[in-house]
Amino acid sequence: MEREQRVRYRVDRMSMADLPRVVEIERLAYSAPWPPSAYRKELQENQYAHYIVVRDTWAPDARPTATPAEQQSRRHFALPFLAPRAGPPLNPSLASIVGFAGLWLMVDEAHITTIAMHPVFRGQGLGELLLCSLVGIAYEIHAHNVTLEVRVSNETAKSLYRKYGFAEVGIRRRYYSDNHEDAAIMTTDDISSPGYRDHYARLRDALLRRLAAQEAPSPAGGQPGAPA
Ligand SMILES: CC(C)(COP(=O)(O)OP(=O)(O)OC[C@H]1O[C@@H](n2cnc3c(N)ncnc32)[C@H](O)[C@@H]1OP(=O)(O)O)[C@@H](O)C(=O)NCCC(=O)NCCS
């Protein structure tokens, strides 16, 4: 019999209930974190803002809350596509949130404001999952290109952005208030161009394969990947 294939990580729209965990990860990820009020304002007042979280649906405290219907439906949220707003109830476990990201639509440009992974979950393709999902949102909201600022010293993030076709197009001198570090401005070409669409589709497919290949932790005495 074919073994059930379940997707471990799931991307959802960020909600107010997610904020305590988002702020916790923000503090671990940034030397100059935003205050919690900034995120509240973003979610409640900024109609041009789009924020997402990535959840580890295998987190021990996340599993008991999943109904059989949710377990079933998770297979269809083949990341990095967002779970639809009208989908199953969100898993309320805050500890299952392992990263978050967001962007603003500014005229016809998607401006990435933040992207951060919990340190324990880095290096597994999940920061890429967040970026891939943001570019997916940029398509949904009909942005022409995607742009961001990044510390010139942040080679990890710059490498991730380069992978998705961002190029350094300028510098904002002394942009960061904590240490007056310069920001590199990185921007994609027109994301609706056939070349970018093709590049994005290839990266997305490879990422989905990589994440789908990750095995679930074995339940006590059970087979990896067996239904909980
Ligand atoms: C940037 C960040 C989100 C990346 O998340 P991550 O989950 O570790 O990244 P992934 O595992 O998805 O890796 C994706 C790509 O990032 C780059 N990358 C990841 N880790 C790297 C490392 N240690 N060194 C260099 N490049 C690295 C690679 O290009 C990688 O692609 P590859 O897997 O094909 O090599 C994470 O490091 C983070 O939260 N940093 C702190 C917050 C931050 O600096 N955010 C950016 C603000 S502009």
Instruction: List, for residues 101-145, the tens digit of each pLDDT value.
Output: 999 999 999 999 999 999 999 999 999 999 999 999 999 999 999
Q: How many domains does the chain have?
A: 1
221: in domain: no
In 3D space, the residue among 212, 207, 76, 44 whose CA is nearest the CA of residue 134 turns out to be: 207
143: in domain: yes
Domain residues for the domain of 73 are: 9-212
Distance CA 191, CA 210 (A): 23
3: in domain: no
222: in domain: no
- In this structure, what CATH number is given to the domain that contains residue 201? 3.40.630.30
The partner residues of 50 in beta bridges, in order of sequence, read 103
1: in domain: no
pLDDT tens-digit map of 198-224: 999 999 999 999 998 876 554 443 333
Measured in Å, residue 207 CA sits from the centre of ligand 1 at 14
In contact, 14 and 100? CB cutoff 8 Å: yes
56: in domain: yes
Q: Has residue 91 got a pLDDT over 80? A: no
In 3D space, the residue among 163, 105, 95, 101 whose CA is nearest the CA of residue 130 turns out to be: 101
Q: Which of 26, 51, 149, 196 is catalytic?
A: 149
pTM for this predicted structure: 0.85
Which residue has a Cα nearest atom 27 of ligand 1?
156
In contact, 180 and 204? CB cutoff 8 Å: no
What phi and psi, each to the nearest 5 degrees, are found at residue 31? -80, -20
Classify the phi-psi angles of 223: left when phi > 0, otherwise alpha if psi is within -120 to 50, otherwise beta.
Answer: beta
What phi and psi, each to the nearest 5 degrees, are found at residue 196? -70, -40
Q: Has residue 34 got a pLDDT over 70? A: yes
Quick one: which atom of ligand 1 is closest to the CA of 150?
48
Q: Which of 24, 122, 126 to mutate to test the pocket of ligand 1 (most atoms within 8 A of CB)?
A: 122
Looking at residue 77, its pLDDT comes to 35
Hey, what amino acid is at 86?
A
Distance of CA 145 to the CA centre of its chain: 18
86: in domain: yes
19: in domain: yes
